[in-house]
């Protein structure tokens, strides 16, 4: 089990390989569809004019994402009424929905880690090699267990997107994950797809 501290250095990233179990500690940011679309359209591709508030948020999240980690997660959060936030459940969201955006976000923010479930595609894998960065696979169905690694909720941005889609800033300790896409071009997900495809073709040939 490798201990990985956020912010993450390039050296640490390059030393991680597919199959490595890790425990992540430090500050990470949650973000799903709405957050990724907002970041790309407002600040990367410029297809949407950001509001002054958006500009302020961008300036505040940029240093958090620099050598940081984004977590595909729609948490269940207690304490919404008095803003005494606490993660009750923090399971990973299926990551493929962010494939159109993830590579651009990684390159723009120098993002070193992406956490989710199910893996991602060729665009994200290319960004993992370029930045460099890695994809960390979190265990689906373990939302309550993962929430125990969230020591503190430091704040929230884009709350208007709704609780699951907002960008929550969290401090984690010993967040469990496995490297399934690395900075050397290896992807466990691509390998599984290739093998599954071969088995399917053999079955179809027999039929």
Mean pLDDT of 167-181: 98
117: helix, strand or coil: strand
- Entry pTM: 0.91
118: helix, strand or coil: coil
Confidence of residue 199 (pLDDT cuts 50, 70, 90): very low
What pLDDT is attached to residue 200? 40
3-state DSSP helix/strand/coil percent for the chain, to nearest 5?
40, 30, 30
Give the single-character DSSP code of 43: I
Q: Tens of pLDDT along 158-173?
A: 999 999 999 999 999 9
Rounded Cα gap, residues 68 and 152, in angstroms = 17
Query: Is the bond into 180 cis (omega within 30 degrees of 0)?
Result: no
Q: Which one from 36, 72, 137, 189 is the annotated catalytic residue?
A: 36
Count, residues in the chain? 207
The question of whether 36 is a catalytic residue gets the answer yes
What pLDDT is attached to residue 76? 96
Structural domains of the chain in order of their starting residue, each with its CATH number: 2-206 (3.20.130.10)
Q: Tens of pLDDT along 57-85?
A: 999 999 999 999 999 999 999 999 999 99
CA angle 92, 195, 134 (to 5 degrees): 40
Confidence of residue 196 (pLDDT cuts 50, 70, 90): very low
Give the single-character DSSP code of 6: S
Alpha helices (H) in the chain, listed in sequence order: 10-15, 33-39, 52-65, 99-109, 122-130, 143-147, 188-206
72: helix, strand or coil: coil
Q: Tens of pLDDT along 89-145?
A: 999 999 999 999 999 999 999 999 999 999 999 999 999 999 999 999 998 888 998
Rounded Cα gap, residues 20 and 4, in angstroms = 11
């Amino acid at each position: 089990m490798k201990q990985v501290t956020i912010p993450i250095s390039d050296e640490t990233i390059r030393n991680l390989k597919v199959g490595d179990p890790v425990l992540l500690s430090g500050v990470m940011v949650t973000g799903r569809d709405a957050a990724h679309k907002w970041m790309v359209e407002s600040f990367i591709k410029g297809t949407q004019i950001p509001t002054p508030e958006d500009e302020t948020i961008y300036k505040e999240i940029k240093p958090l994402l620099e050598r940081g980690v984004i977590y595909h997660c729609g948490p269940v959060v207690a304490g919404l009424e008095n803003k005494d936030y606490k993660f009750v459940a923090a399971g990973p969201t299926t990551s493929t929905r962010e494939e159109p955006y993830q590579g651009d976000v990684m390159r723009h923010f120098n993002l070193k880690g992406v956490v989710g479930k199910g893996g991602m595609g060729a665009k994200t894998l290319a960004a993992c090699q370029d930045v460099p960065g890695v994809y960390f696979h979190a265990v689906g169905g373990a939302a309550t267990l993962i929430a125990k690694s969230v020591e503190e909720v430091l704040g929230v941005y884009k709350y208007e997107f709704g609780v699951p889609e907002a960008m929550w800033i969290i401090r984690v300790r010993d967040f469990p994950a496995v490297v399934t896409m690395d900075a050397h071009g290896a992807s466990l997900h691509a390998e599984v797809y290739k093998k599954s495809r071969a088995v399917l073709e053999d079955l179809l040939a027999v039929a």
